[in-house]
Chains A and B, each alone.
Chain A
């Protein structure tokens, strides 16, 4: 990407930020923030349960308000910005997609673990048929090589994806990792490529710049980095940095800074910070949602949570393998790894 080229900033504050407040954002919060970023010229605003539409459940947390109300509220507040949402096949269905598109969603992202692109086939096709823009997302993308990611992205394009996106779900990347992956993907597909960073190692903005330099056309970022654990790429900082690099975003930075202040006042108890748990989970490349069970297992086995995260990273544990946590803690305790 050359200087003066355009970057589309995609703002999932009202979706990814939900993780930080147990999916409790209400209609007033959504309306206020959506209107503020719309006025600032943010081109795409993503809204939903933290795990996407259809995911409100005891398993991952119930939303304060329904998907319908979230999307309708945001749509009303967005005069100019495109409205986006996210779905995970197996958690949401085509029926949820139909409702979302009826509420005026312009962009739907279909997400899968980085090696499981094939599960996105049906829903990418369904979104195209419904007339919205279909984007494919690969989660925990650091667990796959650049070549594997390129192959998986090419599959999603074959299923109908009009853009593909890699998420650094664990916040593990350094800029060089991002450059290698975005370069491989842009060489393999002829649709726009997007990058979604997390800030566990304090590298989210730097990684996003690396993505842009390697050819990514869309960058995700959240006001104040609002998101689980260490949070996401910080939106207002990203836009400022992109401008210094000479990219055009079409965003009024001064108004965006005001919107970020509003987000801090109205959406979050405190802005995200990189605590030691977030740091080690990013370092180890482990799903940040393991935090609570890891702390519990560390407590019950008398081992250091740091050591559990490092061991889980070596075992390449992923979401859904929570049962590995007590087992890992017991193993470490057996090896005499004290706190």
Chain B
């Protein structure tokens, strides 16, 4: 183990968990030491083993029983289990990065407040819809005072697993809360469509902001700048439409996945996986100050 890396583990062996493993293998700062699934016969765990990871079955208990010490644990399970994971891991000193749509941790969106990630032991990543919309909405809120913000996300059916389907309430409530927090809007509404269309469509985020004084040219400029910043974290992020009518700005963004394991349409998974790795790297850089200097 090179000394300039931090030790990480992943809870959850779905597509997200496997993508985190691959991203860590490409990161000079993160080393994946263990992937934990629920049951030993899971296909995801076998794939993690093929990627060269140590694996274990039995959930968070298996992680605690491993005898290993982790600097960072990614939670890619579901919103029902996450609170228990935090309760059991907090005392170990590990940083817990939550990819489920719960709202217990400090909410981090890389291009908005990513520099604060290292200050928190419990990090929440809002939701895929939150990660894809808040960079644009927050940027607009620096120039206008939104009264109402609406975000409608559409994800391809094949990219929305069973856990996500059971967590739609948490998706809606956590994302609405985060949008209010990051934009100061008095009211926020979030909806998620799951599209069975074939071929599967890319992850799409339709944002509407009602705010006195919105002006087409400035909105477009602010939105494009936010999108450009977003592309440094998520290369497949683009704005497909940006219009202002009266007090209402409407922006549509699409996210495609650009990595091997991820199907192109799975922008919803890509955007939260990228945010998780970003937050973890902030911790790694903070832990080894010399690295931070080098990275500058």
Q: Are A93 and B206 in contact (CB under 8 A)?
A: no
Q: Are B191 and A57 in contact (CB under 8 A)?
A: yes
Q: Are A113 and B196 in contact (CB under 8 A)?
A: yes
Chain B 61-78 near chain A by CB (<8 Å), digits 1 or 0:
000000000000000000
B258 part of interface (Cβ distance < 8 Å): no
Interface positions of B (Cβ within 8 A of A): 148, 150, 152, 154, 157, 162, 165-166, 168-169, 171-173, 189, 191-198, 201, 204, 206, 208, 210, 240, 248
A24 part of interface (Cβ distance < 8 Å): no
Interface positions of A (Cβ within 8 A of B): 55, 57-59, 89-91, 93-95, 112-116, 118-119, 121-122, 316-321, 323
Complex: chain B residue closest to A319, CB-CB: B193
> Within the complex, what minimum Cβ distance (angstroms) separates A310 from chain B?
18
Q: With A58-B150, A116-B157, A323-B240 given, is the CB distance from A122 to B169 under 8 Å?
A: yes
Complex: chain A residue closest to B192, CB-CB: A90
Q: Are A90 and B162 in contact (CB under 8 A)?
A: no
> Within the complex, what minimum Cβ distance (angstroms) separates A139 from chain B?
10
Q: With A57-B150, A57-B191, A58-B208 given, is the CB distance from A115 to B196 under 8 Å?
A: yes
Complex: chain A residue closest to B160, CB-CB: A119
Q: Are A93 and B208 in contact (CB under 8 A)?
A: no
Count chain B CB atoms within 10 A of each CB in A58, A94, A112 and give the residue with the most: A58
10 interchain pairs, CB-CB under 8 A: A55-B191, A90-B172, A90-B192, A95-B173, A113-B194, A116-B196, A119-B165, A317-B197, A320-B154, A323-B240
Which A residues touch B148, using CB under 8 A?
58
Which A residues touch B195, using CB under 8 A?
113, 318, 320-321
Q: Are B173 and A93 in contact (CB under 8 A)?
A: yes
CA distance A114 to B194 in the complex (A): 11
Q: Are A118 and B196 in contact (CB under 8 A)?
A: no
Instruction: Name 16 extra pairs, CB < 8 A, besides A58-B208, A89-B168, A320-B154.
Output: A57-B152, A58-B150, A58-B248, A59-B191, A89-B165, A90-B172, A112-B194, A113-B194, A116-B194, A118-B162, A118-B165, A316-B197, A318-B197, A320-B193, A320-B197, A320-B201
Q: Identify whether the interface residues of A are mostly helix, strand, loop, or mixed.
A: loop
Which B residues touch A316, using CB under 8 A?
197-198
Complex: chain A residue closest to B153, CB-CB: A90
Q: With A90-B172, A90-B194, A93-B173 given, is the CB distance from A122 to B189 under 8 Å?
A: no
Q: With A318-B195, A320-B197, A321-B201 given, is the CB distance from A59 to B206 under 8 Å?
A: yes
> Within the complex, what minimum Cβ distance (angstroms) separates A97 from chain B?
10
Which A residues touch B157, using CB under 8 A?
113, 115-116
Which A residues touch B240, using CB under 8 A?
323
Count chain A CB atoms within 10 A of each CB in B154, B162, B194 and give the residue with the most: B194
A-B CB proximity, top 7 nearest: A90-B192, A93-B169, A320-B195, A90-B168, A320-B193, A320-B154, A115-B196
Which B residues touch A55, using CB under 8 A?
191
CA distance A91 to B176 in the complex (A): 12
CA distance A254 to B173 in the complex (A): 47
Complex: chain A residue closest to B209, CB-CB: A58
Q: With A115-B196, A321-B201 given, is the CB distance from A91 to B165 under 8 Å?
A: no
CA distance A57 to B148 in the complex (A): 10
Complex: chain B residue closest to A114, CB-CB: B196
Which A residues touch B189, using CB under 8 A?
57
Count chain B CB atoms within 10 A of each CB in A112, A119, A316, A321 and give the residue with the most: A119
Which A residues touch B166, using CB under 8 A?
121-122
CA distance A276 to B154 in the complex (A): 30
Which B residues touch A118, using CB under 8 A?
162, 165
Complex: chain A residue closest to B201, CB-CB: A321
> Within the complex, what minimum Cβ distance (angstroms) separates B121 from chain A?
29
CA distance A222 to B2 in the complex (A): 70
CA distance A94 to B169 in the complex (A): 7
CA distance A328 to B195 in the complex (A): 19
Which B residues touch A93, using CB under 8 A?
168-169, 172-173
> Within the complex, what minimum Cβ distance (angstroms) separates B153 from chain A?
9
> Within the complex, what minimum Cβ distance (angstroms) separates B18 from chain A?
21
Which A residues touch B154, using CB under 8 A?
320
Q: Are B165 and A121 in contact (CB under 8 A)?
A: yes
Q: Are A91 and B248 in contact (CB under 8 A)?
A: no
Q: Are B168 and A59 in contact (CB under 8 A)?
A: no
CA distance A95 to B177 in the complex (A): 15
Partner of A59 from B152, B169, B173, B204 at Cβ < 8 Å: B152
Q: Are A90 and B191 in contact (CB under 8 A)?
A: yes
